Chains A and B, each alone.
Chain A
Amino acid sequence: MKRRIGVYICHCGGNISDYVDVKKVREAVKDEEGVFLAKTTVFACSDSSQKEIIADIQENNLDGIVVASCSPKLHLHTFRSVAERAGLNPYEYVQVNIREQDSWAHSDNPEKATEKAIRLIRAGIKRAIEAKPLTPNEIPVINGVAVIGGGAAGMRAAIELSDTGLNVYLIEKEHFLGGRIPQWGELFETNERGEVLIERLYKEIVKRNNIKIFTGAEVESFSGCVGNFELGVRIKPRFVKRDFNCKDYEKILKECPVEVEDEFNFGLTKRKAIYKSYEKAFPEIPAIDKENCTRCGICEKLCPESFDFNQKEEKLNLRVGAVILTTGFSPYEPKEGEFGYGKFNSVLTLQQFRRLMELSNGELSYNSKKIKNIAFIYCVGSRQKDGENKYCSRYCCTAAIHTSLLLKEKYNDIKSYHLFRDIRTYGKQEILYRDSCKNGDIYLKFDESNPPIVEKNGVDVSVKIKDILTDGEEIEIIPDLVVLVTGMIPRENGGLEKIFKVPVGRDKFFSEIHPKLRPVETVINGVYIAGTGQGPKNLTETILSSLSSVAKAYSLLSSGTLKLEPIVAIIDEEKCEWCGNCDEVCVYDAIEKKSENGKEVAVINEALCKGCGSCVPVCESRAIEIKGYTNKEILGMIDGILKEVNR
């Protein structure tokens, strides 16, 4: 049957036509086999042109179109929809890129550019001739989302997902929810306390019966494909019953013989083997730390009804349609001796200092010394030229400045010195910076190559800085406490990046597909990232990203089914001999071996296949093709390109 293909050559204003002689191109392609009409157009993507193309298709019964214009990245979907609106199958449309790949690249040689355009369009026409209509596969999806990490980002996401009607599994590695936020005390701008915010989120969560919380739970395995994932989860025993109701809890706390470093207070205090991360931690029942408990039995003796030492590690499988990773951050731990950390008593990290503030009432003292002068050293563990953490941790400048404002408010007679590299109190946070200056806080600036020196000075420490703002002069401060303003590193998560195959950047944070346009999606379809596990953020930004990951998950799962891109690999079972070559090269694990009519062949999981094409060339039996890029299409395109162009 003779084909009726319409070809449109776009000027793109002058972006194309200034270098490519579009008239000549039209002349050269209009009589190609299968071409019914060929036109030039000033802006193919404009409304009027779209209408014209639709009219052409309908009036002339065109059975395929080729638009030679910009990159398909820009307008593939525009013209696919034009085809669709005119009654064609969208895959009967072929886009030829003569802008990025031609006119812009060869603006120095219009003649050759014109020739190249002709060849590319001929290739496009050949492809259009061979193109087959394709229809997206629709698969049902599971109504359920696993949120991994029960900090602020995860909790917020859970609530919002639940409100969209999706079932939520909130999986937290620790025995308590809340993550880092309750450790912080007052948060800037509202001065609300972290644990109060967490309490609000928790109360919302328990109101909803489609959220299931798992604490002490870690993901071990992950399989399946977008819309139909399977997670293997391992849950540590808590040894405390759900209906924990023990009047002697206080007494148990006293008598439990095991004391370990309290990670909630960053080692400033000790806790027992039975503990709550903080008094009002959620869930409200305590937990027994399996690793450190000696099974002495004191607790059980006092409240036999509340404990159950027979609890075993549990394993369960969850089936979900999407996953959100909200694994959070840990503060950077300075190296031994870094700015005197670990060497001098009076050197703490900002996070430890915030705990110290929380733990002290009335007067602020450390090691029984009253604190009057504090030197904050900024960018510790961030923005390292030679170290691993090249990034700015974003929140620490503001956090340190906010801390100094709180100090002024609470103790008044405390003097803060800020030894900074640059102050990055972007946005509204600038106001905190101004207020701190007005309070009389003193700012001194150093360069990374000339960091402040923390030394012993009698009983105290002295901090010496070559202050850039005072002509590089060396200035000395004798503080009672040195606070290292440490940045963020991704929180230890038991290797989730390997389990989920979600790539991490050089900075070890999860990486998104595109930092601006697709900030919460990962290369694994259906797996989203949010919060500080993706990179440093303050709480506002964390919640923003958490909510946008919810929006993505919801739009994926809301209709109950999923349309899959039809451009995937297809196996010719006759030819396939199962050599396994394709399986080896497929990074998306989309190929499986199956026995079909007594013969072992490769089968494509269409939900996982990205149509990348890696498997095609390795198949010696030529059993694999990619729909939309079949061998016929590709060979046709080569013919089109090679055909002589008359000058």
Chain B
Amino acid sequence: MERVNPDFSEKIKKYGAFDISACYNCGNCTAICPLSTEDNSFPRKMVRATVLGLENKIASSLDPWLCYYCGECSDTCPRDADPGGLMMALRRYQIRKFSVGRISDLFYQGFSSFWAWFVLTLLGVLGIFFFKNNPDMKEIKPLSFVSLNVLHDGGIILFVFLLVVSFLQLLLMLKSIKLTKKDGIGIKAYLNSFLEVFFNEVLSQNKFSKCENKKRYTAHLLLLWGFIGLFLATITVMLFDFFFPANEGIRIIPKVLGLISGIPSLYGVSFFLWYRLKKADKYFRFSHHTDWIFIILIFFAILSGYLLDILRWSSAVKIYYFTFAFHLIVVFELILTFPFTKFAHVMYRPFALLLADIKK
């Protein structure tokens, strides 16, 4: 038995611009939602749990991650309760809920969020001053600005940190989802589901593709692939540096990969930035400040990355190093906050899909 808690829906309201108390349980949202099945009335179950303030139910639900915000429920809702918007809000709520040490709280409350980003940027700037060498001012040599060792060690530290935190957070998610024995937990089940989810969902974004708005789907897919490319490029650079420090020629591979991957990423991120700015579509009517920060950071990271590649052929040495510093700070912020911000959906969503697949 659960007790009603009307304060909860008040709390959730801060995460989005929906009007869930207007819901009169007609069930239209469930009827239209492509994800709804006979035993999971999607998204009405979450609507109801929010209205009644059944926090346990919400914390233990994967539903917010399965929804792609196609918005059909919100379009059909006769009371304009915006159930789709609620699902997005519940995602934000869960990101906070699963975060270790409640670090996410820092980024989700308007005021503290401002200070968190301010401090991080300050740290980045100080870090640059602290670690930078005396760069070669005659010719552009990136590594003369920050030494390879610093990048390398810093990268590793950051990576280990991310790995540990992400792992812990996924564990937290797993714990609150409460898989039961009968859900058939076993290596094999995991593996099967993993393959299924990885190919059918992550790489192809199959569920997303069912949404009516194909532009949004394409932009998201391109951004995702571009990101995977950029990620691979970064990894290979590191690996090559480690294994073939002397071989200059081989670097062309990650370089080209990076340049190519940048294009879809840039398209994707610009699309989202533009649409959110213009509120061009029903999906973008409401943007939480965490949405903004996430997009802006990605946008600047990719833009400055490109700029670096272009400047490399120029002789604007000062500008180059300046941009380089900027790029490093942005990337540092983006990566460091990965598990605590909207960026975390990159791990939560596939993991949720995986769990959902196993449960099924």
* A residues lining the B interface (CB < 8 Å): 415, 417, 423, 433-434, 437-445, 464, 467, 469-471, 473-478
Interface contact A476-B24, CB-CB below 8 Å: no
**Is the C-beta of B355 less than 8 angstroms from some C-beta in chain A?**
no
With CB as the reference atom, state the residue of chain A lying closest to B44.
A469
**Is the C-beta of B345 less than 8 angstroms from some C-beta in chain A?**
no
Interface contact B1-A464, CB-CB below 8 Å: yes
Interface contact A476-B6, CB-CB below 8 Å: no
A-B contact pairs, 9 of them (CB 8 A): A415-B6, A423-B24, A433-B24, A437-B23, A438-B21, A439-B21, A444-B52, A467-B52, A475-B4
With CB as the reference atom, state the residue of chain B lying closest to A439.
B21
Of A417, A423, A438, A470, which is within 8 A of B19 by CB? A438
In the assembled complex, which residues on chain B have CB atoms less than 8 Å from the CB atom of A471? 45
Interface contact B24-A437, CB-CB below 8 Å: yes
In the assembled complex, which residues on chain A have CB atoms less than 8 Å from the CB atom of B166? none
In the assembled complex, which residues on chain A have CB atoms less than 8 Å from the CB atom of B2? 473-476
Interface contact B1-A474, CB-CB below 8 Å: yes
Interface contact B3-A434, CB-CB below 8 Å: no
In the assembled complex, which residues on chain A have CB atoms less than 8 Å from the CB atom of B51? 442
In the assembled complex, which residues on chain B have CB atoms less than 8 Å from the CB atom of A478? 3
Q: How far in angstroms is the closest Cβ of chain A from B205?
A: 31
Interface contact B22-A477, CB-CB below 8 Å: no
Of A423, A469, A476, which is within 8 A of B4 by CB? A476
In the assembled complex, which residues on chain A have CB atoms less than 8 Å from the CB atom of B23? 437
In the assembled complex, which residues on chain A have CB atoms less than 8 Å from the CB atom of B255? none
**Is the C-beta of B9 less than 8 angstroms from some C-beta in chain A?**
yes
With CB as the reference atom, state the residue of chain B lying closest to A373.
B6
In the assembled complex, which residues on chain A have CB atoms less than 8 Å from the CB atom of B1? 464, 473-476
Q: How many B residues are at the interface, by size bracket?
A: 20 to 34
Give CA–CA (A417, B23) in the complex, Å: 14
Assuming the A-B contacts A434-B22, A469-B25, are A477 and B48 also in contact, with contact meaning beta carbons closer than 8 angstroms in the complex? no
Q: How far in angstroms is the closest Cβ of chain B from A431?
A: 12
Q: Identify the interface centre among A439, A440, A444, A467: most chain B CB within 10 Å of its CB.
A: A440
Chain B residues numbered 286-316 whose CB sits less than 8 Å from any CB in chain A = none
Q: When each residue 1-43 of chain B gets 1 if its CB lies under 8 Å from chain A and 0 otherwise, what string results?
A: 1111010011000000001011111000000000000000000
Interface contact A469-B21, CB-CB below 8 Å: no
Give CA–CA (A399, B337) in the complex, Å: 53
In the assembled complex, which residues on chain B have CB atoms less than 8 Å from the CB atom of A437? 21-24, 79
10 more contacts with CB within 8 A, not counting A442-B51, A475-B4, are A417-B4, A423-B24, A437-B21, A438-B19, A439-B21, A443-B25, A464-B1, A473-B2, A474-B1, A476-B1
Interface contact A443-B24, CB-CB below 8 Å: yes
Give CA–CA (A437, B22) in the complex, Å: 5
In the assembled complex, which residues on chain A have CB atoms less than 8 Å from the CB atom of B128? none
Q: How far in angstroms is the closest Cβ of chain B from A439?
A: 7
**Is the C-beta of B54 less than 8 angstroms from some C-beta in chain A?**
yes
**Is the C-beta of B49 less than 8 angstroms from some C-beta in chain A?**
yes
Give CA–CA (A417, B54) in the complex, Å: 15
Interface contact A438-B52, CB-CB below 8 Å: no
Give CA–CA (A417, B21) in the complex, Å: 12
Interface contact B24-A470, CB-CB below 8 Å: no
Interface contact A442-B22, CB-CB below 8 Å: no
Q: When each residue 197-209 of chain B gets 1 if its CB lies under 8 Å from chain A and 0 otherwise, what string results?
A: 0000000000000
In the assembled complex, which residues on chain A have CB atoms less than 8 Å from the CB atom of B19? 438
In the assembled complex, which residues on chain A have CB atoms less than 8 Å from the CB atom of B45? 471
Give CA–CA (A440, B19) in the complex, Å: 9
In the assembled complex, which residues on chain A have CB atoms less than 8 Å from the CB atom of B6? 415, 440, 442
Give CA–CA (A470, B3) in the complex, Å: 13
Q: How far in angstroms is the closest Cβ of chain A from B283?
A: 24
In the assembled complex, which residues on chain A have CB atoms less than 8 Å from the CB atom of B3? 475-478
Of B21, B48, B79, which is within 8 A of A470 by CB? B48
Q: How far in angstroms is the closest Cβ of chain B from A337?
A: 23
Assuming the A-B contacts A433-B24, A434-B22, A437-B24, are A470 and B54 also in contact, with contact meaning beta carbons closer than 8 angstroms in the complex? yes
In the assembled complex, which residues on chain A have CB atoms less than 8 Å from the CB atom of B22? 434, 437-438
Give CA–CA (A433, B22) in the complex, Å: 10
In the assembled complex, which residues on chain B have CB atoms less than 8 Å from the CB atom of A475? 1-4, 52, 54
Q: How far in angstroms is the closest Cβ of chain B from A522?
A: 40
Give CA–CA (A442, B54) in the complex, Å: 13
Of A423, A442, A464, which is within 8 A of B52 by CB? A442
Q: How far in angstroms is the closest Cβ of chain A from B30?
A: 12
Interface contact A477-B4, CB-CB below 8 Å: yes
Give CA–CA (A476, B52) in the complex, Å: 10
Give CA–CA (A434, B79) in the complex, Å: 8
Give CA–CA (A475, B3) in the complex, Å: 6
Which 5 residue pairs spanning A and B have beta carbons closest together? A440-B21, A474-B1, A476-B3, A469-B25, A437-B22
Chain B residues numbered 219-266 whose CB sits less than 8 Å from any CB in chain A = none
Give CA–CA (A470, B79) in the complex, Å: 19
Interface contact A469-B48, CB-CB below 8 Å: yes
Q: How far in angstroms is the closest Cβ of chain B from A229?
A: 51
In the assembled complex, which residues on chain A have CB atoms less than 8 Å from the CB atom of B54? 470, 475
In the assembled complex, which residues on chain A have CB atoms less than 8 Å from the CB atom of B79? 434, 437
In the assembled complex, which residues on chain A have CB atoms less than 8 Å from the CB atom of B49? 470
In the assembled complex, which residues on chain B have CB atoms less than 8 Å from the CB atom of A474? 1-2
In the assembled complex, which residues on chain B have CB atoms less than 8 Å from the CB atom of A439? 21
Q: How far in angstroms is the closest Cβ of chain B from A461?
A: 14
In the assembled complex, which residues on chain B have CB atoms less than 8 Å from the CB atom of A423? 24
